[in-house]
Amino acid sequence: MKPSFKRLAIDTATDHLYLSVIIDDQEKGNVWVIGNQDHSVRIMPLMEELLQAEGLKLQDLDEVIVGVGPGSYTGVRIGVSIAKMIGYLNSCQVSKVSSLALLASSSQAERIVPFLDARRGNAFLATFHQQNHLLQRIQPDVLENVEHYLSQLKSPIDIVKVGKPDILKVLRSGLTEVVENVHELVPEYLQITEAERHLRAQ
């Protein structure tokens, strides 16, 4: 019997905490819970529970898939730090995926715009096309003025602000990317910090 391929998916870039265990082509269990700025407290206990339910330990994993944003900066860093550590400690493969792609996977519509609010009329946005339960990226992840972005799109589109990821769809659609060197993995912030902006403006 060929050994099974065990994967853990993590996303902490939105206000929902998402974890999933995938063995071969089956999703064995998942967690998708709304957080109250407490992803940092809950993620490890939930992960432990989820893995235990499948009789798995962190060392058993063949791949960790992590949402690298864009989204909440503090949030995404929690998931990315954890994924990096699991990958580094166990020399297991780490793959990254856009947190917007994960969000888009929750929709059944044909044209999808995942949307994460970034204040002051801006949002993290992307555009996906869906056919036969497969997602195809049309536009890259951007941080843009919402009105401006949406005005350029032809309707009808499904704007998705909250949704439980369909990890199997994401995997089938080839939206994950293997990280070459786990030490170098960082979140996708899509913008420099305010301090850097001010400094450059001087």
Partner 1 sequence: MLTLGVESSCDETSVSVVRDGKTVLSNVVLSQIDIHQAYGGVVPEIASREHVKGITYVFDQAMKQAQVQYQDIDLIAVTEGPGLIGSLLIGVNAAKVVAMNYGIPLVGVHHIAGHIYANNIEHDMEFPLLALVVSGGHTELVLMNDHYEFEKLGETQDDAVGEAYDKIARVLGLPYPGGPQVDKRAKEGKPVLDFPRPMIDSKDFNFSFSGLKSHVINLHHNMVQRHEEIIVDDFCASFQDAITDVLVKKTLEASKQYDVKQVIVAGGVAANKGLREKMSKTITHVPVYFPHIKYCTDNAAMIAVAGTFQYLKTHQASDMYLNGSSRLDLTLGA
Summarize as ranges the residues that interact with partner 1 (CB under 8 A).
38, 40-45, 47-48, 57-59, 73-74, 77-78, 80-82, 84-90, 182-184, 186-187, 189, 193-196, 199
Residue number, 103 or 182, with CB nearest to partner 1: 182
CA–CA distance, 106 with 104 (Å, rounded to integer): 5
Q: Least separation, in Å, of the C-beta of 48 and partner 1?
A: 6
Pick from 6, 190, 187, 192: nearest CA to 97: 187
142 residue type, one letter: V
Nearer to partner 1 among residue 30 and residue 40 (C-beta):
40
> Of the two residues 77 and 169, which places its CB atom closer to partner 1 in the complex?
77
CB closer to partner 1, 91 vs 132: 91
Burial of 120 (0-12, 13-18, 19+ CB in 10 A): exposed
8 A C-beta contact, residue 63 and residue 4: no
Instruction: Identify which of 198, 78, 69, 39 has the alpha carbon closest to the alpha carbon of residue 143.
Output: 69
Q: Encoding tokens for residue 188?
A: 């996708």
Helix segments in the chain, DSSP class H:
39-53, 73-90, 99-104, 146-151, 167-172, 194-201
Closest separation between CB of residue 195 and partner 1, Å?
Answer: 4
- Find the shortest distance in angstroms from Cβ 58 to partner 1: 5
CB nearer to partner 1: give 10 or 113: 10
- Minimum distance from CB of 42 to partner 1 (Å)? 8
Least distance CB 40 / partner 1 (angstroms): 5
Give least dist CB 95 to partner 1, A: 16
- If the CB atoms of residues 44 and 138 are measured against partner 1, the closer one turns out to be 44
Smallest CA-to-CA distance from 157 within 121, 115, 109 is with 109
Both tokens of 111, joined, read: 């044209």
